[in-house]
Structure 1
Amino acid sequence: MSSGDHSLEKTSVVDHDEENLKVGATKRHIDLANNVEARIHNPLHGIPRDTLLKGVEEFAKEYGLEDKVDLFKKGALLAQSPGELETIPGITEEEKEHIRRETTHRWSQSKSLYLTIIICSLAAAVQGWDQTGSNGANLSFPQEFGLHSDDPNDPNRERNDWIVGVINAGPYIATALLGCWITDPLNHYFGRRGTLFWCGIFCTVSVIGQGLAQTWPQLFVCRLLLGLGMGPKATTSPVFASENVPANIRGGLVMCWQMWTAFGIFLGFSANLALHNVGPIAWRLELGSAFIPAIPLTLGIYFCPESPRWYMKKLRYPDAFRSFVRLRNSEIQAARDMYYVHCQLVEEYKIMQGSTYIGRFFELFTIPRVRRATLASWVVMIAQQMCGINIIAFYSSTIFRNAGYSVTQALFASWGFGLVNWVFAFPAVWTIDTFGRRNLLLFTFPNMAWTLLAAGFCFYIPEGHAARVPLIALFVFIFAAFYSPGEGPVPFTYSAEVFPLTHREMGMSWAVATNFFWASVLSLTFPSMLTAFGPVGSFGFYAGLNVIALVMIFFLMPETKQRTLEELDYVFAVPVGRHAKYQLTEFLPYWISRWVLMRKNTTLKPLYDFDEVEAPIKQEKLKGDV
């Protein structure tokens, strides 16, 4: 974004706030840079009704929505006091029923919303299939290019291991170094939909190129080009879904990214299994088959409504309203959500000054509210690589071959891993918005640590023993079963929601670049690690990283469940030190007392104060959530 464009956006929003016409004056100001009282705040709270309605009139006049002013007045009153639905004047019985159904039928959403989720799910399936094509191909393409030797004394063996690692790491290297960082300008000029169209093109052409490669450098270049599609796709798709989905089901729908990434991984393993007997070209078909889900992604993205928050960022408010209407079940819901988002944007722009591309990058680390989101997203993203899931996703066939399986048996075992990884992602649809993002990770990381360690120890069983390979496979499958509802869906869902709109593309670029950089490190180093440490040492190393990741999550990751994207400004305004101290002095003693000593009367003092919050898309029963 150019400096001039961003200044125009900022000035247009903030100048009117000085007159207190759009958002009024709240009873108690909350510092979004340093929310030491941990208070979560509705920006419309405490505004006199006359002032609020006058602000709506000015808002409608300023943004070309005069014909909808009465609708926006009702929406503003509803956003201010959702608990008073029955007493707000002018709201029809039909409109009231739509609001009630948000609680009683929360999965009853518009067709356009679900179409958006389907397209984002296709993007995820492309991601998963791209990851696993190389898994099966690893069993044959090194021989094709003279990069494999069974002779332990071969002087080129170590060199060849590194070349295979570099080829496998290619998409992740390109994603971390370039792909993620072009997301911001792509989104600025083309929007969320245009960016995903770009990704579909690259994810189609590059994988076909892999299948046609005649030398390993050609294969490596095609995999680098794949990263230019994978990076913006992994960055934009969760953000696109997150911005369009209501808060009370946001986690359950946005986590479809992981569920359908897992499905794409399963499809990739299925393709590997189906194609491995077709002869010398098997690896080419395994790598090239990933273009299949990229075609409907490329063709279908423009049938979805653009993100209304992106339109608002570009000051295209009538377009934003039309998008909101398509994404909600009624115009009253669209008007309420849009006005609430606008008012919170006024608050955001007071402290967010990202006027240039480079400026927004540095503000990820200098603005306190944004810096805390940057830290939290970094923790959950690097934890996904620390847990060791991708040593299985990238190299499971190689691991099972080393354990003693034939090629066919290794591919079947990998297929089983992909199936478990996908099936066990389904529980997260319901638990991520109830049990919570943070709690899912605190539960699953210890279990991933011991199952990975157990799988490694099973390599001590002598070769040829009947129990050796089945036990290795069993613990790998149990590891996947714990990963899929926890560290699988949380990182991309969490990172897509924690950044303010002003820094959302740049923040998500940072988060995904973190994830893919360490994925490239893992992919690059694991063949050599396997040679140097053996399976036991390699699995034990990643089991230890699970424990380190657990500690980082416990102290540095705030919960975000059932909060609107705008309310998260206040969550991440709470200083890291206060959050960490609370976990150590309040949460940990409570957990020990309640779940170790089994004292059922133990209570937990809440960290956040919701006294002033009546979230505009939740009913009274949600006011006490922590």
Structure 2
Amino acid sequence: MADPSITKDEKETSPRESGLHDVDGGRRGTLASINLNKNLDAKVSNPLADIPYATLMRDVEEFAAEKDLADITPILKKGALVAQDPHKFEELEILDNDDRAALATEKAHKWSHPLALYFTIIVCSIGAAVQGWDQTGSNGANLSFPTEFGIGHGEDEGHPDRWRDNLIVGVVNAGPYIGSAFLGCWLSDPCNYYCGRRGTIFISAIFCLLTPIGGALCQTWEQLFITRLLMGVGMGLKGSTVPIFAAENSPAQIRGALVMSWQMWTAFGIFLGFCANLAVYQVGDIAWRLQIGSAFIPAVPLTLGIYFCPESPRWYIKKNRYREAYNSLLKLRFTPLQAARDLYYIHAQLQVESDIIGKSNYFTRFAELFTIPRIRRGTLASFTVMIAQQMCGINIIAFYSSSIFRQAGASERNALIASFGFGLVNFVFAWPAIWTIDTFGRRSLLLFTFPNMAWTLLAAGFCFYIPEEQTAHLAMIALFVYIFAAFYSPGEGPVPFTYSAEVFPLSHREVGMGWAVATCLFWAAVLGISFPLILNSFTPTGAFGFYAGLNVVAFIMIFFWVPETKQRTLEELDYIFGVPTKRFINYQINKALPYWIQRWIFWNRSAKLEPLYHFDHGVEGANSDSEAEGADPTRHATEKSGIEQTEEKGTR
């Protein structure tokens, strides 16, 4: 819990030390003037950058002794010097040729990492296929299970039970999201605390393995609803933990691409679910049982493979188990030098973080999502991207595409084929985000895709006015639904879970991610329950137009509340979210928007955008104006790193 002697106003306005205080006056203390709850200058700094050589070496020795790492003190010293200024590693005499070669290879080949890292990402992300497969399994099952359970009057005009049956179908479809939003996501924090990232994912895999099988054996809609609620417990645990696990194990340069594999496998699960729907739709009365039950398949490799993955180093550090954190990093990085560098840099940044957060306990962490300014901004941004995923309308297609195409006049077979096409487009167009999410950026992808999703949904809705007897009726509806999916998949598809796993400090990452995923899945539940009613009340055209309007609202929210996080370490994001929301909004209105209008409406190629963020030396991107948004070209000629200072003193 934060220091009770410090008031809320003092937290927001008083400059605070970084947590790396002066030792014998040897440190310049550049972070003393940066208040990370109110970072008005929008600076991103390296807490090691201005530490003199002798002081840094003494700090490392004390750190190694305190954390029982004395046997690796020499490699920790090398790692600390590299972390102090990553751009100057070739000038460090303490490094040998093998060290320099490994660091140069890492810089030149950002995708070159140990197999253990990629195995971890693949195994964990396979679990996301359960969620996608279940969505489409219930999508196909919607065409038959209501009839078996006596609730199939939703499409019968004038039937007295029409409204009731539509509501029940919606509640059954929303079951996993209700279970996730109200139980599974909130169990994530205590499960992670006691069981770790891997243990929590294993527990979630057991739920996701057994509940689809239980759903396939149900004899009433009430039983089916209960199995889907229990599936939601597993989905909530998994959705809140897997992106964190992937983000904490991944290097900053490709973290977005690796964490977004969650969305890749969700899209692949949607695609496989549609394949399963088509494969079994003609087998008779048990078709819906096979469609729902088959969702257990992706949970099998997750259950078997999770304990072959290294545990998150940051979770070990949170538990003060630094030896195990180092051993985990040895599996995730090629050399001990890289592992030592990351270990010490994470530790240094967490010292900064602990100063702005204070000491928290389990019972106060949720409240602090809304009371500590730096965390509150992350909470707002994660809420925005997560609720936007439901506002954009993707799940009206994922949940109900078969029903929509049936209303467009398609036969059951053609409705399933059209839905299969949606699943294929959704999967194929998710691939470009692997290359764009860490270059084009999370925020830019969102701002590009939302306007395009709005007009494609609107166009699909208007196509219902084409006479049903014309071939163009179904063809044009399907076409615009596919174009909508093509814009969604590389933008709002991969960004929300990736982004939300990044924006919270380590101390609040589990409860913050639980909040974010609960937000997403609660509104998915609302959508699942409400859409059959909206579809019947608004007609398909009105329903599509309604969600097109929500896309516009989501675009505005993202523009004002969602900062960029690409290529920054998880700890460096404390500086990004230290910038007050008012300052960020003013920049977007007064700088970014006029620049965009000049550049892209009036085609003024000479228009320049004044950067918001300024990267101090020792931070990745500070040495290249073209690489980093906000790099300040005047700083590099005037400021010297700690290593440069020590060269002058002859102490290196």
Taking structure 1 as the reference length, the TM-score comes to 0.96
Matches within 5 A, 1:213-252: 213-252=218-257
Q: Which residue of 2 aligns with 1:106?
A: 110
Match for residue 573 of structure 2 among 568, 577, 583: 568
In the alignment, the residues of structure 1 paired with residue 110 and residue 22 of structure 2 have an alpha-carbon distance, to the nearest angstrom, of 37
Alignment of 1:597-608 (within 5 A): 597-608=602-613
Superposed, which structure 2 residues align to 1:152-191 within 5 Å? Answer: 152-191=157-196
Residue 356 of structure 1, CA deviation: 2.5
Q: Does the 8 A contact of 2:615 with 2:622 survive in 1?
A: no
Cross-structure match for 1:404:
409
* Structure 1 counterpart of 2:516, from 511, 515, 528: 511
Note if 1:151 corresponds to 2:151: no
| C-alpha distance in 2 between matches for 1:622 and 1:467 | 47
Question: What's the counterpart of residue 34 of structure 1?
Answer: 38
Contact 1:321-1:338 at 8 Å conserved across structures: yes
- Equivalent position SS for 1:357: coil
2:215 counterpart of 1:206 = no
Aligned mate of 1:50, from 43, 46, 54: 54
1:436 aligned onto 2:437: no
- Which deviations, in whole Å up to 9, do the C-alpha atoms of 1:456-514 show, x marking residues without a partner? 00001111111100000000000000000000000000000011100000110010000
Query: In terms of mean alpha carbon deviation, does 385-394 or 150-159 score higher?
Result: 150-159
Correspondent of 1:69 among 63, 73, 77 = 73
Residue 191 of structure 1 aligns to a residue whose secondary structure is helix
What one-letter code is carried by the residue in structure 1 that aligns with 2:556? V
Where in structure 2 are there 5+ consecutive unaligned residues?
Answer: 2-16, 631-652
Structure 2 distance, partners of 1:387, 1:265, is 17
Structure 1 position 27, deviation (Å):
2.2
CA positional deviation for 1:94: 1.1
Alpha-carbon distance change, 73 to 166 in structure 1, aligned in 2, over 3 angstroms: same
Report the residue type matching 1:42 in the other structure: N
The CA deviation string for residues 557-593 of structure 1, in whole angstroms up to 9 with x for no partner, is 0000111111100000000000011001100111111
The whole-number CA distance in structure 1 between the counterparts of 2:448 and 2:465 is 28
What secondary structure, in the 3-state scheme, does the structure 2 residue paired with 1:487 have? coil
Q: Name the amino acid aligned to 1:527.
A: P
Report the 3-state secondary structure (helix = DSSP H, G, I; strand = E; otherwise coil) of the residue aligned with 1:57: helix
CA contact (8 A) 2:239 2:517 kept: yes
Amino acid at match of 1:141: F
Q: Give 1:118's aligned residue.
A: 122
1:328 paired with 2:333, answer yes
* 1:292 lines up with 2:297 in the alignment: yes
Q: Secondary structure at the match of 1:393?
A: helix
Equivalent in 485, 488, 494 of residue 489 of structure 1 = 494
Q: CA deviation at 1:17?
A: 4.9
Of 518, 523, 533 in structure 2, the residue corresponding to residue 528 of structure 1 is: 533
The residue number in structure 2 matching 1:79 is 83
- TM-score (normalised: structure 2): 0.92
Counterpart amino acid of 2:250?
V
SS in 2 for 1:203: helix
1:92 corresponds to which residue? 96
Given that 1:40 and 1:612 are in contact with CA atoms closer than 8 Å, whether structure 2 keeps it comes out as no
Deviations along 1:310-369, one digit per CA (max 9) or x if unpaired, are 000001100000000100111111100110000111111112235332300000000000
Aligned position for 2:563 = 558
Distance in 2 (alpha carbons) for counterparts of 1:25 and 1:123: 48
User: Which amino acid letter does the alignment assign opposite residue 45 of structure 1?
Assistant: A
- Could you give the per-residue CA deviations for residues 199-249 of structure 1, whole angstroms, max 9, x where no partner exists? 110001111100000001000000000001000101100000000000001
Q: Say whether the 8 Å CA contact 1:33–1:368 is kept in structure 2.
A: yes
- 1:256-285: CA deviation from partner (whole Å, max 9, x where unpaired): 111111001101111111111111000001
Q: Is the 8 Å Cα contact of residues 617 and 623 (structure 2) preserved in structure 1?
A: no
Check the 8 A contact 1:614/1:623 in 2, yes or no: no
Corresponding residue for residue 386 of structure 1 = 391
Partner of 1:364 in structure 2? Answer: 369
Q: How many angstroms apart in 2 are the aligned matches of 1:219 and 1:176?
A: 18
Counterpart Cα distance in 1 of 2:131 and 2:152: 27
Q: CA deviation at 1:89?
A: 2.3
Which residue does 1:454 correspond to in 2?
Answer: 459
Q: Distance in 1 between matches of 2:156 and 2:132?
A: 33
**2:606 paired with 1:596:** no
**Amino acid of the residue matched to residue 148 of structure 1?**
G
RMSD: 1.9
What is residue 11 of structure 1 aligned with on the other side?
none
The alpha carbon displacement at 1:25 in A equals 5.4
1:361 corresponds to which letter in structure 2?
Answer: F
Go from structure 1 to structure 2 and tell me whether the alpha carbon gap of 1:399 and 1:354 turns closer, same or farther (over 3 Å shift): farther
Letter in 2 for 1:90: I
Alignment-mate amino acid for residue 509 of structure 1: G
Q: CA deviation at 1:306?
A: 0.1
In the alignment, is residue 546 of structure 1 matched against residue 554 of structure 2?
A: no
Aligned counterpart for 1:140 among listed residues 132, 137, 144? 144
Residue in 2 that maps onto 1:426? 431
The count of aligned residue pairs is 614
Amino acid at match of 1:413: A
Give, in angstroms, the shift of residue 553 of structure 1: 0.4
Aligned partners of 2:180, 2:69: CA distance in 1, in Å? 41
CA–CA distance in structure 1, aligned partners of residues 19 and 382 of structure 2: 33
